[in-house]
Structure 1
Amino acid sequence: MLELRGVVKDYRVRGRTKRALDDVNLRVRRGEFLSVLGASGSGKSTLLSLVAGLAAPTEGEILLDGAPVTGPGPDRGLVFQSSSLYPWRTVERNVAFGLELLALKRAERKRRVAWYLAETGLTEYARTLPGQLSGGQQQRVAIARALACEPEVLLLDEPFGALDVQTKEDMQVLIRQIWQDTGITVLMVTHDVEEAVFLGQQVVVLASDPGRIAARVEVPLPDGRELAIKHAKDFLELRASLEDLVRAQHHGTVTSPGTKGK
């Protein structure tokens, strides 16, 4: 289980203290897919950076399976909006990069690379350089690289935000399939309400300035989802409700009907 307990994050900006996150308490169960939704200024990326260990909270603590998070580690895989691949390494060598830092036998490294290339539909591109791939394919490589170390938690920082609509939807289907195939815990931050609903089992809505949890909302949709569900009445109603909630929180309103806090 991933836990954030009373997490506060302050920054110094032009000699003043700026609070990015305030008293965030959050639990993500093992194997859960949790979407964190919020407008600009809600601290979404800051929250993910703290969980990844790229920054330390000003107050509070972050625990993974009861152990404090004190820095980056192979138990958390992180995928950004930009794929951040090494352009001089082939696809398979990009995926293998993190494995080279682990005490694994060569055969195990090869097995993992091959499996995650197949899982992300990249086997035929194994010896291709990133510059020869489309944006969606590059994000597939980034996801495969993050998963190859077999982390406890996969962290997604608006990973499809730079993609066109068709490619984004293809990637959404892919990440749900990977989640179901591997049983990994996924924590994703996004500003895209439709994406948060389609991917998440639950959606946490952040209020803005400073970022804090406004609501945690169940997504009452089956885990086996296809893109057509985006046109279903239940989906559209929940999307509209969350859009209203995000808009209200961004403008400082504290309450919204139809939400369920936890």
Structure 2
Amino acid sequence: MTLELVDVCKDYRVRGQRKRALDGVSLTVSPREFLCVVGASGSGKSTLLSLVAGLTTPTSGEITVEGRPITGPGPDRGLVFQTGSLYPWRTVERNVAFGLELLALDTAERRRRVDWYLAETGLAAVRRSLPRQLSGGQQQRVAIARALVCEPDVLLLDEPFGALDVQTKEDMQLLIRQIWRDTGTTVLMVTHDVEEAVFLGTRVVVLASDPGRVAAETRIPLADDRDLTAKRTPVFHELRASVEDLVRASHRREVIR
């Protein structure tokens, strides 16, 4: 499904003064694309994702999924935050099944989906555990499975691996790319980590700061079935350096301005 933002602006009131977080952002995320958005602090990355999720509304402009305006949260968009935000009293499988309780599905279909996504995310063996019994990486796997079990058109990721250690983070990066290939879900991810964006994305968009707006974009010509060895190749290092320069340049112009 195509996700489109057209001239989107978002203003907030801060101590009685208007603060513009996003200014004229236009983006098109194509079906099956893995789009990563990066930028310095103040570039409005999380605000952008909140608007697409329908948690807030734009001051002006329009956001659509397959031509349908976004007016609030919906099952066509799954959202994963930096922390899992799991229900502590629910087991893993009941956390994953939560969204299905709001859909008109029969018991067999609910069970099939829960079983499949538990297996896909490597959680089948801990399905009856509570969140407090899981590692941080496992909790994020539950959050991802919960977001995907409703089979949304678009998966939204808000720096989902930022709180994890390096090893777990790389394991989760491999997992989310595998899920993306297996499900064909369109992904929009915001992250401050340029290396992560280049490794995961099919395209990287750079936002300038204060107010946030599109400064540049880079297509990532790496194989869809890339693994961690891709991070050690010359082309990867060149791409990462190029995007880092774009982030730095867009932020510096804002500081000078």
**TM-score range normalised by the length of the shorter chain:** over 0.9
What one-letter code is carried by the residue in structure 2 that aligns with 1:130?
Answer: P
> Quick one: distance in 2 between partners of 1:226 and 1:16?
47
**Corresponding residue of 1:259:** none
Q: Secondary structure at the match of 1:176?
A: helix
Q: Is residue 22 from structure 1 mapped to residue 27 from structure 2 by the alignment?
A: no
What one-letter code is carried by the residue in structure 2 that aligns with 1:65?
Answer: E
**Corresponding residue of 2:252:** 251
**Corresponding residue of 2:48:** 47
Q: Secondary structure at the match of 1:240?
A: helix
Q: Secondary structure at the match of 1:252?
A: helix
1:60-107 C-alpha deviation (Å, 9 max, x unpaired): 000000000000000000000010000000000000000001111111
> Quick one: distance in 2 between partners of 1:251 and 1:208?
9
What one-letter code is carried by the residue in structure 1 that aligns with 2:99?
Answer: G
Q: Which runs of structure 1 show a deviation greater than 2 angstroms over 4 or more consecutive aligned residues? A: none
**Number of residue-to-residue matches in the alignment:** 254
Q: Is residue 218 from structure 1 mapped to residue 219 from structure 2 by the alignment?
A: yes
Structure 1: segments with no counterpart, 5+ residues: 255-262
- 8 Å CA contact 2:63–2:69 kept in 1: the answer is yes
> Quick one: distance in 1 between partners of 2:132 and 2:124?
17
**Corresponding residue of 1:131:** 132
> Quick one: distance in 1 between partners of 2:80 and 2:194?
19
What one-letter code is carried by the residue in structure 2 that aligns with 1:216?
Answer: E
> Quick one: distance in 2 between partners of 1:45 and 1:141?
21
1:89-143 C-alpha deviation (Å, 9 max, x unpaired): 0000000000001111111111100000000000001100010000000000000
What one-letter code is carried by the residue in structure 1 that aligns with 2:40?
Answer: A
> Quick one: distance in 2 between partners of 1:183 and 1:214?
28
1:33-53 C-alpha deviation (Å, 9 max, x unpaired): 000011110000000000000
> Quick one: distance in 2 between partners of 1:206 and 1:43?
8
What one-letter code is carried by the residue in structure 1 that aligns with 2:71?
Answer: T
**Corresponding residue of 2:173:** 172
User: CA shift at 1:249, angstroms?
Assistant: 1.0
Q: Secondary structure at the match of 2:253?
A: coil
**Corresponding residue of 1:193:** 194
> Quick one: distance in 1 between partners of 2:207 and 2:75?
27
1:201-240 C-alpha deviation (Å, 9 max, x unpaired): 0000000000000011111111110001101000001101
**Corresponding residue of 2:156:** 155
> Quick one: distance in 2 between partners of 1:157 and 1:224?
23
- Sequence identity percentage: 76
> Quick one: distance in 1 between partners of 2:254 and 2:105?
51
1:130-161 C-alpha deviation (Å, 9 max, x unpaired): 10000000000000000000000000000000
> Quick one: distance in 2 between partners of 1:158 and 1:251?
23
Q: Secondary structure at the match of 2:20?
A: strand
User: CA shift at 1:253, angstroms?
Assistant: 6.2
Q: Is residue 140 from structure 1 mapped to residue 120 from structure 2 by the alignment?
A: no
> Quick one: distance in 1 between partners of 2:133 and 2:113?
23
Q: Secondary structure at the match of 1:251?
A: helix
> Quick one: distance in 1 between partners of 2:216 and 2:161?
24
User: CA shift at 1:162, angstroms?
Assistant: 0.1
RMSD of aligned Cα (Å): 0.9
Q: TM-score, normalised by structure 2?
A: 0.98
1:154-191 C-alpha deviation (Å, 9 max, x unpaired): 00000000000000000000000000000000000001
- 8 Å CA contact 2:210–2:254 kept in 1: the answer is no
Q: Secondary structure at the match of 2:104?
A: coil
**Corresponding residue of 1:229:** 230
**Corresponding residue of 1:239:** 240
